């Protein structure tokens, strides 16, 4: 019985550890996708500025409050605008950004096909 208890305790500790690790993973994932607005070319995750440190705390707090990743992004875009996200959302301001590579690829394919046809 004693060993069973011990195993149970060890299991509990490990599972808590796992939960905590998941939480930090999510926090890191979110802060890596946030631009540090007062630094040049750094994410919130990489930066040690006052702004980034506070923002990391806010993200942590929001995760603890049970907010989802999307809800946290929405909260921060509402405060700081779309610019804070590295991965921009798909909307009327960003559709060119999303479709341009596809258009260029298609254009290239058409040109390539024509060239092959000419050679033939």
The residue ranges that bind another protein (CB under 8 A) are 37-38, 50-51, 53-55, 57-58, 61, 78-81, 83, 107, 110-111, 114-115, 117-118
Closer to another protein by Cβ: residue 79 or 92: 79
CB of 37 to another protein, least distance (A): 6
Distance between CA atoms of residues 56 and 67, nearest Å? 14
CB of 25 to another protein, least distance (A): 21
Element holding 20 (H helix, E strand): helix 2-32
Cβ-based neighbour number of residue 37 at 10 Å: 16
Cβ-based neighbours of 76, under 8 Å, separated by 6 or more = 34, 55, 84, 85
CB of 70 to another protein, least distance (A): 18
Closer to another protein by Cβ: residue 20 or 61: 61
Residue whose C-alpha is closest to residue 34's, from 20, 21, 47, 50: 47
Closer to another protein by Cβ: residue 70 or 78: 78
Closer to another protein by Cβ: residue 50 or 87: 50
């Amino acid at each position: 019985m004693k060993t069973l208890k011990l195993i149970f305790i060890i299991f509990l500790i490990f599972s808590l550890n796992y939960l905590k690790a998941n939480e930090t993973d999510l926090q890191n994932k979110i802060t890596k996708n946030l631009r540090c607005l007062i630094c040049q070319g750094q994410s919130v995750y990489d930066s040690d500025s006052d702004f980034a440190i506070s923002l990391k705390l806010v993200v942590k707090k929001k995760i603890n409050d049970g907010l989802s990743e999307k809800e946290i992004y929405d909260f921060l875009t509402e405060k700081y605008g779309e610019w804070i996200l590295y991965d921009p959302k798909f909307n009327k301001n960003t559709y060119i950004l999303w479709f341009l590579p596809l258009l260029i690829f298609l254009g290239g394919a058409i040109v390539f096909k024509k060239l092959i046809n000419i050679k033939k």
